[in-house]
Amino acid sequence: MARLSFLQLHLAKNVPHFFSDFLSDFFSGMSTPFGQFSDICRMIKIEHSIFALPYAWAGAFLAARQIPPARSLIFLTIAMIAIRSFAMAFNRLVDLPFDRDNPRTKNRPLVTGSISISQTKAFCWVMAIIFILACAMLNTICLFLSIPALLFAASYSLLKRWTMMCHFWLGATLGLAPLAGWLSVNPSVPEMAVVLLFFAVTFWVAAFDIYYSFQDMDFDRAFGLHSVPVCYGCESALLIAGFSHIMTSLFLLLTGFAAGLSWPWYALWLAISLLLFMEHRLMRPQDLRHVNTAFFTLNGIISPVVLCGVLLGIYV
């Protein structure tokens, strides 16, 4: 594959942080009961919201087959932001003993003391309550499932202590987004298309989380943490990530068939498949210069493209 241009490398380095840096600068002086707003954005990696939110909206559009009710979209969005913020803050809390010793994470707000442990615990409780209330505003099914969803999202942070399947658990956590979108509009058993989209997201996230874990291989091995690269080695980890990308592409293709989407979905599916191939080609355990490109930049493109494909597949 051709060498990345200077412009591509510049974008890969800076795009992942543009949104969070913008928010940090814009709200630099804003203080909250949980700490400075900019520190909160850094703690929960606000820019990573781009991964799950488009899939939730896609699930809502598949359920409605038209523009979903504004009420559903509003409270779905609030719920998605709240549960993601809860999960990230909880992850920072339970991983604090490791983050203090990991050179890669030494500047995280909870490690530096910019945000205290008590503030983070309070933030988790508030986000959990907002999530439950947003689910209650959607429908009874969403409210009933809100507590299991919170427990499922929190479990990822603990699994890495016992199993390398943590990557796929994280994938399944984000994979719940299209199912949540469906239920926010149509509180009934989701159609096969949304179930297939769940599996597509699960494998998609697992693949890039495996890539991301290459950064911490030595640390994870020293501290007894589990990941696919630690358990199976670099080459096998790349093969598992590649297989996960193949499954992602396959499940996205089947989603289009099951949902009866029109030709734009398949054109964008082909583009997504090529992006996944590029991502796999970029990732090399011995050379992590392109990890932001593989982890954030390309994947940050894929989820909005999936949403666009669903919209065009419905309306064209």
For residue 32, is pLDDT > 80? no
Instruction: Give the predicted TM-score (pTM) of the model.
Output: 0.86
**Residue 47 pLDDT level (bands cut at 50, 70, 90):** confident
Task: Give residue-wise pLDDT tens across range 106-158.
Answer: 889 889 988 899 999 999 999 999 999 999 999 999 999 999 999 999 998 88
Residue 163 backbone dihedrals phi, psi, to 5 degrees: -150, 145
For residue 166, is pLDDT > 70? yes
Q: Decide if 142 contacts 56 (C-beta within 8 A).
A: no
pLDDT at 121: 95
Mind listing the domains of the chain with CATH numbers?
32-315 (1.10.357.140)
DSSP letters, 120-158, are HHHHHHHHHHHHHHHHHHH-HHHHHHHHHHHHHHHHHHH
Pick from 177, 149, 185, 155: nearest CA to 74 = 185
pLDDT at 106: 87
CA dist 45 to 85, 175, 217, 264, 267, Å? Answer: 9, 19, 22, 32, 31
Q: Decide if 218 contacts 87 (C-beta within 8 A).
A: no
**Two tokens, residue 214:** 């290459």
Task: Give residue-wise pLDDT tens across range 64-110.
Answer: 999 999 999 999 999 999 999 999 999 999 999 999 999 888 889 88
pLDDT at 93: 93
Average pLDDT over residues 1-14: 40
pLDDT at 77: 96
Residue that is written with structure tokens 């990890």 in the block? 291
As a whole-number percent, the residues of the chain with pLDDT over 70 amount to 85
Residue that is written with structure tokens 């990530």 in the block? 241
**Which amino acid is residue 163, in one-letter code?**
T
> Average pLDDT, whole number, for the chain?
86
Pick from 158, 202, 206, 156: nearest CA to 177 = 202
Residue that is written with structure tokens 């604090």 in the block? 96
For residue 289, is pLDDT > 70? no
For residue 287, is pLDDT > 70? no
Q: Is 50 exposed, middle or buried (0-12, 13-18, 19+ CB in 10 A)?
A: middle
CA dist 171 to 152, 166, 202, 207, 244, Å? Answer: 11, 9, 4, 9, 11
Average pLDDT over residues 265-293: 79
